[in-house]
Structure 1
């Protein structure tokens, strides 16, 4: 075997090798089977020897007996190695300086969350923003985006340059909302923001005012409340498919000659995403007033107020929580007594499943409220609001959970609720009983699908029980569960008071036992105290 040195001769050497194989193809191989030394012209060979003597970096190429390259190895001197590390550190410094973490609000879903559920986070019809921009399967919607922009310009009688210049003023702020560097140029990024933003606003306004009033045909394939709209809504609520809310505010303000208006986009977004709501509990006026008086403040969500929403998914989340549950102080850290041993051993579990709680005497009842997260426990009764589950619920909850996992400035209330329901539901029987109680209403194929949905939602979620707004309630339920008398009473009621025949049998058995005891007593009494 022979080693050829000198990087500069590499190209020349490979060409020579090819020519040698062509010219000397008839020359037999060495009988020893060892690698042959490749000859070089005299001057290159001398240069090669000089390079071998020089203590510089080199590229080693090993040629086997067939004249093929079988190994390459690049070695750098210590000084060049240190220089390469310094270059990487400099790049890291630049990345850290360029990263505006404080403004970040539109995240890429972490890999540990999306494993097995990638479809729930990736849009299938329409892309918004830079993360999925330009993907081949999503390009079909681009022509409809351009149609929406054409309608906006025609209806408002404004020039496109006005929109482009206005959004360019917000370009740096908009870029800082996204995670990582955006490869799009300035013009491409501004064009994308204007095109996607106007498309979103046309959908919002069409759902509120009617697409016909905006100038679209009744049978329009996109701008009509029909078949594909549900899939579009599901794509537009995904975390990776968001546009900054201030971009949408600016675009809508330009259309209405009020560039600084705020809040109207949030109101339109809530109307557009209303079909995705996980509850549709109808409440009478008296029930609403009773609910408000019990809380001592209004329960409605005002999207026109400054709620701090950063994008449509965040606005939707705030509307779900409304006046939002408050996180209770940490109560799970203290030492647990013997009566709380179960909760202490299962730190990742908030509560037991429905079947186990029923065996301990816990009752389940539907609570009349339009806030699906507002769960109460009192006197052995777990009051749970109605939850509506449809084919978009999985994607909705997964993206809400992903946002709470990534965004530092929001609570984990949706995650707490989903983890709680996941603990309650372990089997189709648990779902069936909650459905019987009116707590769960679903449009899926079977109760098993609902159970599987909840059991998969929080598989890789990082969750702290101490920060859950349901931790105190879970403590009360577990304390009730661990009280043995409650279990005995529930078992007695289940076995002997489940139906009228069981009750009659129990009464007959008690009467028979009393009669037998009476007869025995008088028999014994007569034996020891015979009549005179």
Structure 2
């Protein structure tokens, strides 16, 4: 065969290029920058940091991991949950399908990746099956509907933690408006959907009921965004007048801040782990239980905030702040001793490494974030001469009992030497 048989002519190349130009992007479609697009594939740069953090381990929700053979076990139980609901409320399944079919365009625009591989009916089936599964799960856990006391989804201890974490993964979401529509169509509950969701996740995080009541009408783009928003305090919002301030520098690690006179204290009155304050030289930081749930939640929130331009970056700011003050295992130990970190994660070194890598290479605006005032106040405090000098003196001479004893002994020797000099010189001048 002549090699020239495989040579593409210029005209053919131009034709191929023209065809390619007319093909819309599929992996990140051209509407992905709109506020309606809120469910993303995680960028490879973030995946490289922690490959297991963003992929579901036990259940697939939405199109990105649909059909994964490793997730078929819970997939089969979705049909059982759907049958439970349809049997209980007596409405035909077609009602729910028709509702979701009418929202086809809106659903497709919620995903950064093209869903052309799914027909309208296929996509609607997926949304109904996954949406009803979530709603029934929340109802069963919340004791609003009767469930089988031997249901393996609830009786097998290993299922719950994996399932709960999977529901808050960025690639494992369906639009919140889909959940709201399905909930409204099947609703006979006294509770709102937000209340049901918060009660469900409260089995993992144990927040006070008076805090949860504030969010009984909270909205979100999807479950991950909804739960993320329940930690964000409106009073932390940055104003336009502060956005033009000159860039700030990040604060020093905890051990260096202590030498500069800064104290650390757990803030037990805070509603959220984001509510950090700096008062009279003391950093008040809410306690956080660092475990598999929170580490997974934080990682996926940061990924969402990096992908979605139209949301605040509060979790990213928190990660950057914690990465600043926990540079080494010694810094982590200091926060642990002050009851700020409850470590179920691993060693102190692993916690320091976690925050270091989560905050690595993320887009972060130093002069426009909810802690910008706190960064400035801490840095200004550390530049103040007198208390920095006094803190350094205490750290040097009173850090340990032996150092304090040595300093006291030196002081006594100097005092006695001074007295001896005085009594030697005084008689001479007295005469």
- Relative to the length of structure 2, the TM-score reads 0.89
1:28 maps to: none
Shift of 1:233: 0.7
Partners of 1:301 and 1:323 within 8 A in 2: no
Asked which structure has the greater RCO (Cα within 8 Å, sep 6+), the reply is: 2
SS at 1:274's partner residue? helix
Equivalences for residues 282-301 of structure 1 within 5 A: none
Task: Indicate the structure (1 or 2) with the bigger Cα radius of gyration.
Answer: 1
Q: For 2:174 and 2:395, how far apart are their aligned partners in 1?
A: 55
Given candidates 223, 226, 229, the residue that maps to 1:315 is 226
| 2:131 is equivalent to residue 230 of structure 1 | no
Q: For 1:318 and 1:518, how far apart are their aligned partners in 2?
A: 67
2:273 maps to: 372
2:293 maps to: 392
| 2:401 is equivalent to residue 496 of structure 1 | no
Q: For 2:314 and 2:42, how far apart are their aligned partners in 1?
A: 19
2:202 maps to: 274
2:99 maps to: 166
Shift of 1:424: 0.6
Residues 519 and 177 (structure 1 numbering): CA distance in 2 closer, same or farther, change over 3 Å?
same
Partners of 2:195 and 2:212 within 8 A in 1: no
Name the stretch that deviates more: 415-424 or 108-117: 108-117
Shift of 1:436: 1.2
Q: Deviations over 1:214-252 (max 9, x none)?
A: 3x3212111458431111010011111111112112212
Q: For 1:139 and 1:520, how far apart are their aligned partners in 2?
A: 90
| 2:19 is equivalent to residue 87 of structure 1 | yes
Partners of 1:301 and 1:319 within 8 A in 2: no
2:311 maps to: 410
Residues 252 and 433 (structure 1 numbering): CA distance in 2 closer, same or farther, change over 3 Å?
same
| 2:395 is equivalent to residue 514 of structure 1 | no
Residues 522 and 166 (structure 1 numbering): CA distance in 2 closer, same or farther, change over 3 Å?
closer
1:363 maps to: 263
Shift of 1:484: 4.4
Equivalences for residues 19-30 of structure 1 within 5 A: none
1:177 maps to: 110
Aligned length: 426
Partners of 1:331 and 1:472 within 8 A in 2: no
SS at 1:240's partner residue? coil
2:134 maps to: 200
Q: For 1:300 and 1:128, how far apart are their aligned partners in 2?
A: 25
| 2:43 is equivalent to residue 110 of structure 1 | yes
Q: Deviations over 1:83-122 (max 9, x none)?
A: 3322222224999787783421111111111113121100
| 2:253 is equivalent to residue 353 of structure 1 | yes
| 2:60 is equivalent to residue 151 of structure 1 | no
Shift of 1:500: 5.9
Partners of 1:148 and 1:198 within 8 A in 2: yes
Shift of 1:354: 0.8
Q: For 1:462 and 1:360, how far apart are their aligned partners in 2?
A: 29
| 2:246 is equivalent to residue 333 of structure 1 | yes
- Relative to the length of structure 1, the TM-score reads 0.73
Shift of 1:511: 3.6
